[in-house]
Amino acid sequence: MAEFPSKNWQDYELLDSGCGEKLERFGRTVLCRPEPKALWDKSLSQKEWDRLCHIRFKSGAGFGKAGKEDSGTWERLKKSDDQWFIRYDGVEEGLKLNLRLGLTAFKHVGVFPEQAPNWNWIYHAVRGLVPEGAGSGTAPKVLNLFAYTGAASLAAKAAGADVTHLDSVRQVVTWARGNMESSGLDGIRWVVEDAMKFVKREIRRGNRYDGIILDPPAYGHGPDGEKWKLDECLFDMLKGVADLLGEHAFVVLNLYSNGYSALLGETLVRQAFGSGGKMESGELALLDRFGKALPLSIFVRFQLKDEGFCDHLPG
């Protein structure tokens, strides 16, 4: 199963893809970035790409090396800002986010648009856990690990969750806080820490969550130099997450690592969380103007007990 952002998203569009690149419009700014999965030919001519593009990312010496796959520099072709905002309006009236974009040294710009279906799903999942007419003391608790600039955290918060947002990089947590404030939200708990250390400490404290979101990188480091390697650490992380789940909790796992399939993700989740509950998996992808589907990550969504829960979810 492949899922795509809504065609009604006005501030984002994949204009074209091919020859190892993608041409994207974020608001009024058009970016050209490397994309190894775009193995086909471009539909537009190179001249047209050059005409449309405002800023192009040029891969550096580290490109293709573990942990530095996306390093490089930006080349400005037209006058444009270093930072700007885009608007995301979800499938529900209450999901309206303002997300800041910025040019980083690692090809990323602070927003992964293919994640929009996950934002919608998280919003619905949290809404499904909020009893009708419930007071503030019954807000579902959601933990977002490896949370980056926080769109998933904002989706959960907009739906009424008590959100803990964790990332090991203080600068991106500050970025996420700015996104929260510009979206008219507040009250998210910010944590700058190694994800595995935090999970283990929460287990010792006996804390539980109604939803846990994970988007772990292939490689990473905690604030104190803790090493993260997806192949070696992911299953231990999932087993730790299993000890933090409340009775009706949901989990959203997203993986960008090449070679990981939705079936592999399902097996990992099932082995960590057991045989009960409801699970779905698939690919998150973008569709360019010419109908070429660009798969970018795999997702697994899991709900421990789904009595009545699925009535609230999209699809």
- My answer on whether 141 and 40 are in the same domain is no
281, part of any domain: yes
Q: What is the pLDDT of residue 306?
A: 55
| Last residue within a domain, chosen from 84, 104, 139 | 84
- My answer on whether 77 and 149 are in the same domain is no
| Last residue within a domain, chosen from 31, 64, 84 | 84
Residues with Cβ within 8 Å of residue 315, at least 6 apart in sequence: none
Q: What is the pLDDT of residue 294?
A: 98
Tokens read off for 268 = 């990992």
The owner of tokens 């047209």 is 48
Q: Which amino acid is at 159?
A: A
Domain with 130 in it: what CATH number? 3.40.50.150
Query: Are the C-beta atoms of 117 and 138 separated by less than 8 Å?
Result: no
- My answer on whether 142 and 276 are in the same domain is yes
Q: What is the pLDDT of residue 308?
A: 46
Quick check: helix, strand or coil at residue 272? Answer: helix
Query: Are the C-beta atoms of 249 and 210 separated by less than 8 Å?
Result: yes
How many helices and strands, by DSSP H and E, does the chain display?
Answer: 7, 17
> Using 50, 70 and 90 to split pLDDT, how confident is the model at 132?
low
> Using 50, 70 and 90 to split pLDDT, how confident is the model at 92?
confident
In this structure, how many other beta carbons lie within 10 angstroms of the beta carbon of residue 218? 18
- My answer on whether 306 and 259 are in the same domain is yes
295, part of any domain: yes
**Domain coverage including residue 36:** 2-84
- My answer on whether 64 and 134 are in the same domain is no
How much is the average pLDDT of 15-32?
Answer: 98
Phi, psi of 16 (to 5 degrees): -160, 165
> Using 50, 70 and 90 to split pLDDT, how confident is the model at 209?
very high
Domain with 41 in it: what CATH number? 2.60.40.1180
Number of domains in the chain: 2
Q: What is the pLDDT of residue 62?
A: 52
How much is the average pLDDT of 244-255?
Answer: 95
Q: What is the pLDDT of residue 310?
A: 46
Cα–Cα distance measured from residue 90 to residue 309, given in angstroms and rounded to the nearest whole number:
20
47, part of any domain: yes
How much is the average pLDDT of 135-139?
Answer: 68
Q: What is the pTM of this model?
A: 0.92
- My answer on whether 59 and 164 are in the same domain is no
Q: What is the pLDDT of residues 32-82, one digit of tens each?
A: 999 999 999 999 999 999 999 999 999 875 545 544 556 789 999 999 888
Give the residue, 210 or 132, on which the prediction is more confident. 210
107, part of any domain: no
- My answer on whether 129 and 74 are in the same domain is no
Cα–Cα distance measured from residue 194 to residue 237, given in angstroms and rounded to the nearest whole number:
12
Q: What is the pLDDT of residue 311?
A: 47
Chain mean pLDDT for the chain: 91
- My answer on whether 77 and 137 are in the same domain is no
Q: What is the pLDDT of residue 314?
A: 52
User: What is the chain's length?
Assistant: 315
Tokens read off for 131 = 């009893």
- My answer on whether 122 and 220 are in the same domain is yes
How much is the average pLDDT of 231-259?
Answer: 94
Q: What is the pLDDT of residue 257?
A: 82
- My answer on whether 151 and 227 are in the same domain is yes
Q: What is the pLDDT of residue 196?
A: 96
**Helix 116-129, helix 151-158: angle, nearest 10:** 30
Percentage of the chain with pLDDT > 70? 91
Residue 309 has pLDDT above 90, yes or no: no
Q: What is the pLDDT of residue 137?
A: 61
Q: What is the pLDDT of residue 230?
A: 94
Q: What is the pLDDT of residue 315?
A: 45
Query: Are the C-beta atoms of 159 and 185 separated by less than 8 Å?
Result: no
165, part of any domain: yes
> Using 50, 70 and 90 to split pLDDT, how confident is the model at 312?
very low
- My answer on whether 68 and 124 are in the same domain is no
